[in-house]
Chain A
Amino acid sequence: MSFDATYARELPLVESKASFREIDDAIIKPTEEKPRKGWWVAFGISFTALMIGAYCLGLTFYYGIGMWGNNQPVSWAFGIINFVFWIGIGHAGTLISAILHLFRQKWRTGIARFAEAMTIFAVMTAGIFPVIHTGRPWLAGYLLPLPNQNGVWVNFISPLLWDVFAVSTYFTISFLFWSLGLIPDIATMRDKAKNGVKKTIYKVLALGWSGSNRSWSNYERAYLILAGISTPLVLSVHSIVSFDFAVSVIPGWHTTIFPPYFVAGAIFSGFGMVSTILIIVRKVFGMEHIITVNHLEKMNKILLATGMMVGYAYSMEFFIAWYSGNTFEMFVFINRAMGPYAWSYWTMITCNVILPQLFWFKKIRRNIPITFVLVIFVNVGMWFERFVIIITSLHRDFLPASWAMFYPSLVDLGLLLGSFGFFFTFLLLFLKFLPLVSIAELKAVVEGAQPTIHPHPNGSNGKH
């Protein structure tokens, strides 16, 4: 550009000078073509994983929770670990799409739609577990405040009930937010679509979007409102999930640091999962110029920040245990670090606190392969964090006579695999049938799309 930048010029959000038509084609192309072999392989793997999970779920429903590894002191294990893990992953999507929208962080456009989709699928995966881990899932209706034959209200001071409300609210709002954003894009696809079936489906889904100014103004306002509503969700849902533990009496759970600690952990694992999948997707679908390295670098920075927060929480827990002088608390944390499950504790520490420190170096932040590896570690680390919190606090608590070890059963592992299968199956379907990036928003941030102060060719600043 010929004009001198009087302010730090923002990095172009879309590297190439794509025109609107090019953007349309680039994003809608994957939905129109036959899925390539890579997609089928990925879909095959995740679908088998889903079927394995479904089989294990069938066994659990038929025989009972006994098929899992839960026992008497440790009566929560993989079921709740997976629930907290998946609901945590969902939070990054909402943060990216809602909070960054409110902060007008333009760089979010490339990844917002995808992250939001990931949220919904993560919350759906998480939503399964509270139901299937109960002893009598066919009575899960009792968890809702509906009139029933016992004439009994639900217990409003139980954190599990708050979970029910929090997770369902979170799902509905994320879903609304996501599908609202999709409407203009589906309308574009509807206009481009050729054959009948696809066109009618897109027509239905586009809810008669005519792109008229009125609908755009309503759309913008609705989008803003929903972004506003879902912002507190990012912080509240995982705090309520952390209340499942913080409200209890068990040493290692009963600490006030849990809500912020869990929210930081959620965002940490959420961004971990987002960047894991985005690195693959941008390579496979050739979206490097839309989901640029800058995006990944920004996400790595957030990973570093939240990783440090989580690290702070671990050390603070240790300090408070010592500082409180409460023998049970002290024992729990010594037992975590040196007891029979010490291996899981140190896995967590290395993956969550030590490895993300590499993101201090710009070179590593911008290096895709290393980021991919580190981000996988983040996911593993966050799963183990929930493992450590739940299992080590339960397996050795107050009375030494009720101490016992927990060993996962095959059905446990099958369900864990199934949850990943469930998540990726939906994700792949989304990638196939819906635009990966929000076309409308992208057009708004493409180079030159917004009226910018073009300098007058003869040097005056466009003034006459």
Chain B
Amino acid sequence: MQSKENQTDTEMHDKVYDISDKIYKDSNEVSLESIVPEAPTKDVNYWRSFRELYSDPDFIKERENEFSKDALERPDIEEGSKFSRRKFLALLSASAAVAASGCSNFRDRGEIVPYNAKPDSVTIGLPNYYASTCTGCSSACGILIKTLQGRPIKVDGNPDHPVSKGKICAIAQASVMSLYDPERLKNPVERTDKTSPKEISWGDADDAIIAQLKNAASSGKEIAVVAGKIISPSQKKLLEDFVKAFPTAKVYSYELYNDSAKNAAWEKCYGSKYYPPVQLDKAMIILSLEADFLGSDGNKVVNSRLFAANRDTETEGKFNRLYSVEGNASVTGLNADYRLILKTDLLEEFVLSLLNELLLVQKKSALAQDEAVLSKIRNFNLDNFASKNNLKKEVLDHLISDFGQNAGKSFVIAGNMLPESTHIAVNLLNEVIGGNELYSFKDAFIEHQPMSSKADIENLVSDMNSGKAGIVIHFDTNPVYNMPGDSGYAEALKKVPLVITMSEGINETCESGNYVLPVNTMFESWGDYRTRSDFYSLQQPVISPLYNTRQKEEILLTWIKGSKNEFNNEIYHSYIIDNWKAGVFTNVSGDKEFMKQWYAALNDGVVMTNAGTAQSSGEAEPAFKADAFTGINQRMTAGTGMTVVLSKSNTLDDGRFANNGWLQELPNPITKIVWDNYAAISPKTAKSLNIESNDLVKITTNGGTLELPVFVQPGMADDMTVIDLGYGRSACGIVGKDVGFNSVKLISKNSSLTPFLYSDAKMEKSSGTHKLVTTQDHYAFEEKLYKDIQYRREIIQEGTYLQYKKNPDFLSDRHTKYTEEEKEKLKVGSINEQYVHTGTKWGMVIDLNKCTGCNECIAACNVENNIPVVGKEQMGKHRSMHWMRIDRYYSGTPEVPKASFQPMLCQHCDFAPCENVCPVAATTHTPDGINAMAYNRCVGTRYCSNNCPYKVRRFNYFNFRDHFREGIQQEESFSLMQNPEVTVRSRGVMEKCTFCLQRIMLERQHAIEENRQVKGSNVKTACQEACNTNAIYFGDQNDETDPISGLNKSKLAYYVLEEIKVKPNITYLAKLRNVYETEETGSH
């Protein structure tokens, strides 16, 4: 029955088709009637199907019931496809079950064993602190080393140490990375005939060397020991013992930076060997002549602290004024209230003109009668000097009047690179203005061993050439790199039969040595240091040597003792103890008593002594010898060609830290350049030589020639360039190798002025460019669109000190004043109720008056929070991982700019725009006001970074530890460096400043233990702890007793981008420039 039904259907189907074809083909000629057999009973216009149209009898019968016969029937299953729905669903569920059972839990990290066999000294999670001394440079600051599980992970200043007083520089902060550097030398290496290195044991090395030392001593061959500056009494005694043991030994001490000109001038003027420390905290007027004392000149930690002591806006009479006359755009210069731009080799003439003005015209001090002095300065005149070099007249008048009003409270500092004659002139100037009252003679620097003079070094080189020197021992120094370009040291070294180099890492001197002996870092060494007369500073190893290394003093001591099995781990430790028994704790009877004092000294890290120099015992301070000034005949005069100044890099020092990624990546405070040195020149000089930034230039001085890129730096003097030293290491670890250009080549051994200043150098454009990478993009700040954009957007709000004195509310007066009820009307309620932070609310205040923009905070933050090194290429792509950055804004003109510094970090806003856009709620606000980041929850959509108005979030575009230099940071020793309390972030995760949450948690833990409220002032963030000028305050804003809540209400307090209403929690205190104008000219 069924099939018959189907047949009729198909027939009908075809019939319908034929009918429809006919209708279409010739529908216009054929009228309907001709094709329809008989007139339909129904209206021709309404028919449901053709069959109804020609009234097929079956159809009529079917139409009785409403639906056609099989319309309502369920379609026959069998008829459908064999692949039925039920089977499909069964298959689907089966495959799902199979798939689910296949996964495994990837979090399973294998077996975890409880830590029950615990050595007593180590409690997991509680840090140990050791007091020690940093020997990164010759200032020997006191440090506190924090160790967790026995591993040193953070270095901070030792508060009890008279030099550092709790603060430390970036090099010490990042020295942790040098300890864990996987490329440290690990085993003694013997290089037969200086070429093929082969690892040998300490015993064999000692045997061979002791034998050769003995026969060199007996055969009269000179044994030259090239050491750095000797600042350790025990080390000095050790070297003396060495000379006793091997009579032909001769000790040379050579440092690239030794401010010899300044000390020589001082000795001529006052007789004592070293320039004394200066009490800058008492100075109200400071004039810096090319002296970057807040940056790379002298000990910046001490100078910054003393300078900032007198930058206190609140207490009367504690706000100094800094003048700066310089050619280079330095940190000190751009922080100065008045800055005059003068080529460096004109400075002596400037000082003499000043003296002329002060002595002849205004007859200031007793020296005004000394005819010999007057004759020297008679033919200088300040006014025409100023007009000749277009220095602003009124600034000089202010300077002269300030000197007058602040006799005894003003001081002139001359840069280390200036020649002796200038320093003598400046010493005289300090006598005239009463600056000499600020010398603190009682804790003057002392000298253990005089630095080798130019002559000593020359005959060392000639001894080596002539074969007189049989053995040269490099006592952890790198003279092949540090010696002047034309000193010929490297060639001479080739002729010496036995060259022994002690070094932590690979350096140029190791390449040309017979023996390379790996030495301990400062974390693994004993030592006692004494730079000033009033204290001893102790250094103790917080960890036993990681690799098969020894301390350089231990090596010498073994050789002195004459045989390899004399060596034991305590050899130098007991040596120091013997020295101290004899030299320091003399008034102690018996060993037990001594050890008690010794342990107390190790605990404090410093031992104050009052032995001191002659001055401390009440003797009259040395008087200034005027004939030193009158005796000078050869003055520094303006050179004709290009002036080249070589300055110390405040991160790489003399190049020994080139392999430290953190230091290489710390941006230069002014130019923000990373991973390179460059020749900074002024915009006008660039135009005259038609070069622009990144172009390569060839610079020739009488020391040598060097090709390096140029960087156009606003505020530089014309026809002058400044180059950082310490770059371009040819033999170094993978991180620092060939980074930057070796400007030591430009130093000549018999330079007319000083090794760091050349006034008749040549600079010419050479082909090619070298891309310099900066962390902050440069924009033409003189164009109308960008001019003073930082003031217009009120990112930087500044005033003058007089303006603040006259009207403390000058800042709030700049905005329209609303009465109370207007404010009420304007109050815009919010649709969702606001979270009121009642308990602790963490906040930070940054005092821009104290901040000098020196980057210490960034260095400390990197160490504390395990920030990876990303490398030059990624920094070039603007992917720096630093959680903090110092923003530098220029105002004024490129020739004479004014700079404003502003540390910028996460503001932990109350209405954080990053929190409401994160789709996975990876960043949320904690009840105590911190914008917390859940790293394991972060998927990496990066919307939070887009929505942050301050752009302070950092994203792990790669696993940078694996990406930088073929994954050097994946090495096992680097994992020991990480701070275990801070998550090490993986690739694809956003990160930012967390207000050092790990330190807050520690305080919260202590609060719980001691059953008290969390106290805001107990928590010190890493940046606050490191800031040399204490410009950063951190604490609980809701706690009235906390200093920070007071500062929040200060009249100078403002928020950055306040009008976006994200309610940031970092308050900035407006910078006051101590100038005579009452109205801040630059701001509007």
Q: Which residues of A contact B (CB under 8 A)?
A: 1-2, 17, 19-21, 63-66, 69-73, 75-76, 130, 133-136, 139-140, 142-143, 150, 152-155, 157-161, 164, 200, 203-204, 208, 210, 212-214, 244, 247-250, 327-328, 331, 334-335, 338, 394, 397-405, 448, 451, 453-454, 457, 462, 464
Closest to A454 in B: B32
What residues on B are CB-neighbors of A160 within 8 Å? 917-919, 941, 943
A161 touches B1057 (CB 8 A): no
Closest to A208 in B: B80
B793 touches A398 (CB 8 A): yes
Rounded to whole Å, the gap between the CB of B400 and the closest CB of chain A is 37
A322, B753: Cα distance in complex, Å: 59
B45 touches A155 (CB 8 A): no
What residues on B are CB-neighbors of A159 within 8 Å? 917, 943
Select B937's contact among A152, A203, A397, A403, beta carbons within 8 Å.
Answer: A152
Rounded to whole Å, the gap between the CB of A136 and the closest CB of chain B is 4
Is B786 located at the chain interface by the 8 A CB criterion?
yes
A19 touches B917 (CB 8 A): no
Q: Which residues of B contact A (CB under 8 A)?
A: 17, 20-21, 23-25, 27-28, 31-33, 43-45, 67-68, 70-72, 75, 80-81, 83, 776-777, 779, 785-786, 789-790, 792-793, 795, 874, 877-880, 885, 887-889, 902, 904, 913, 916-921, 934, 936-943, 945-947, 949-959, 963, 986-990, 1056-1057, 1060, 1062
Closest to B781 in A: A400
B955 touches A135 (CB 8 A): yes
Chief secondary structure at chain B's binding surface: loop
A327, B917: Cα distance in complex, Å: 24
Rounded to whole Å, the gap between the CB of A9 and the closest CB of chain B is 15
A457, B963: Cα distance in complex, Å: 86
The listed residue with most B CB atoms (<10 A of its CB), out of A17, A334, A400, A454, is A400
What residues on A are CB-neighbors of B957 within 8 Å? 64-66, 70, 135
Select B24's contact among A19, A158, A248, A464, beta carbons within 8 Å.
Answer: A19
Q: Given A133-B941, A160-B919, do A214 and B946 touch, yes or no (CB 8 Å)? A: no
Rounded to whole Å, the gap between the CB of B671 and the closest CB of chain A is 14
Rounded to whole Å, the gap between the CB of B65 and the closest CB of chain A is 13
A249 touches B913 (CB 8 A): yes
A312, B31: Cα distance in complex, Å: 56
A64, B954: Cα distance in complex, Å: 15
B951 touches A135 (CB 8 A): no
Select B955's contact among A63, A72, A214, A250, beta carbons within 8 Å.
Answer: A72
A267, B888: Cα distance in complex, Å: 45
What residues on A are CB-neighbors of B949 within 8 Å? 249-250, 397-399
Q: Given A70-B957, A248-B947, A405-B777, do A21 and B916 touch, yes or no (CB 8 Å)? A: no
What residues on A are CB-neighbors of B792 within 8 Å? 327
Rounded to whole Å, the gap between the CB of B914 and the closest CB of chain A is 10
Select B878's contact among A73, A158, A247, beta carbons within 8 Å.
Answer: A73
A155, B941: Cα distance in complex, Å: 13
A402 touches B27 (CB 8 A): no
What residues on B are CB-neighbors of A130 within 8 Å? 941
Rounded to whole Å, the gap between the CB of A272 and the closest CB of chain B is 28
Closest to B39 in A: A464
Closest to B937 in A: A150
A401 touches B946 (CB 8 A): no
Since A249-B949, A400-B786, A401-B904 are in contact, a sample of 20 more A-B pairs with Cβ atoms closer than 8 Å, ordered by chain A residue number, is A64-B988, A65-B957, A65-B988, A66-B958, A75-B955, A76-B943, A135-B939, A135-B987, A139-B939, A152-B921, A154-B920, A160-B943, A200-B81, A213-B68, A248-B913, A248-B917, A331-B789, A398-B1057, A400-B793, A464-B43
Interface CB pairs A-B, < 8 A, 10 = A64-B963, A75-B946, A134-B941, A135-B988, A136-B939, A158-B916, A249-B949, A397-B951, A398-B793, A457-B31
B75 touches A72 (CB 8 A): no
Rounded to whole Å, the gap between the CB of B458 and the closest CB of chain A is 49
Q: Given A134-B988, A142-B937, do A155 and B916 touch, yes or no (CB 8 Å)? A: yes
Rounded to whole Å, the gap between the CB of A161 and the closest CB of chain B is 4
Rounded to whole Å, the gap between the CB of A56 and the closest CB of chain B is 15
A20 touches B20 (CB 8 A): yes
A399 touches B21 (CB 8 A): no
Rounded to whole Å, the gap between the CB of B884 and the closest CB of chain A is 12
B963 touches A66 (CB 8 A): yes
A403, B904: Cα distance in complex, Å: 14
A1, B27: Cα distance in complex, Å: 10
Q: Given A64-B958, A71-B879, A399-B951, do A155 and B939 touch, yes or no (CB 8 Å)? A: no
Select A135's contact among B43, B793, B885, B940, beta carbons within 8 Å.
Answer: B940
A86, B952: Cα distance in complex, Å: 31
A17, B22: Cα distance in complex, Å: 12
Q: Given A64-B958, A401-B776, do A158 and B942 touch, yes or no (CB 8 Å)? A: no
B878 touches A71 (CB 8 A): yes
Select B72's contact among A66, A153, A204, A214, beta carbons within 8 Å.
Answer: A214
A394 touches B81 (CB 8 A): no
Q: Given A21-B17, A160-B941, A400-B779, do A143 and B920 touch, yes or no (CB 8 Å)? A: yes
Rounded to whole Å, the gap between the CB of B773 and the closest CB of chain A is 12
Rounded to whole Å, the gap between the CB of A53 and the closest CB of chain B is 20
What residues on B are CB-neighbors of A328 within 8 Å? 793
Rounded to whole Å, the gap between the CB of A244 and the closest CB of chain B is 7
Q: Given A64-B957, A154-B919, A160-B919, do A249 and B878 touch, yes or no (CB 8 Å)? A: no
A155 touches B920 (CB 8 A): yes
A451, B963: Cα distance in complex, Å: 73
Rounded to whole Å, the gap between the CB of A23 and the closest CB of chain B is 11
Closest to A458 in B: B31
B951 touches A73 (CB 8 A): yes
A65, B956: Cα distance in complex, Å: 9
Rounded to whole Å, the gap between the CB of A15 and the closest CB of chain B is 14
Rounded to whole Å, the gap between the CB of B108 and the closest CB of chain A is 13
Select A402's contact among B83, B950, B956, beta carbons within 8 Å.
Answer: B950
A401, B766: Cα distance in complex, Å: 32
A136 touches B878 (CB 8 A): no
What residues on B are CB-neighbors of A203 within 8 Å? 81
A136 touches B70 (CB 8 A): no
A446, B880: Cα distance in complex, Å: 65
B793 touches A334 (CB 8 A): no
A401 touches B888 (CB 8 A): yes
A75, B45: Cα distance in complex, Å: 67
A237, B17: Cα distance in complex, Å: 45
Q: Given A64-B987, A249-B1062, A401-B885, do A135 and B956 touch, yes or no (CB 8 Å)? A: yes
A69, B873: Cα distance in complex, Å: 12
Rounded to whole Å, the gap between the CB of A65 and the closest CB of chain B is 5
Rounded to whole Å, the gap between the CB of A322 and the closest CB of chain B is 15
Select B81's contact among A2, A135, A208, A397, beta carbons within 8 Å.
Answer: A208
Rounded to whole Å, the gap between the CB of A68 and the closest CB of chain B is 8
A450, B168: Cα distance in complex, Å: 92
Closest to B72 in A: A214
Closest to B923 in A: A155
What residues on B are CB-neighbors of A204 within 8 Å? 81, 83
Select A72's contact among B793, B937, B945, B959, beta carbons within 8 Å.
Answer: B945
A328, B1057: Cα distance in complex, Å: 11
A130, B919: Cα distance in complex, Å: 12
A17 touches B24 (CB 8 A): yes
What residues on B are CB-neighbors of A69 within 8 Å? 877
Rounded to whole Å, the gap between the CB of B701 and the closest CB of chain A is 36
Rounded to whole Å, the gap between the CB of A201 and the closest CB of chain B is 10
Rounded to whole Å, the gap between the CB of A447 and the closest CB of chain B is 8
Rounded to whole Å, the gap between the CB of B536 and the closest CB of chain A is 45
Q: Given A398-B949, A399-B795, A457-B31, do A134 and B940 touch, yes or no (CB 8 Å)? A: yes
Rounded to whole Å, the gap between the CB of B625 and the closest CB of chain A is 50
Select B23's contact among A164, A244, A248, A448, beta carbons within 8 Å.
Answer: A448
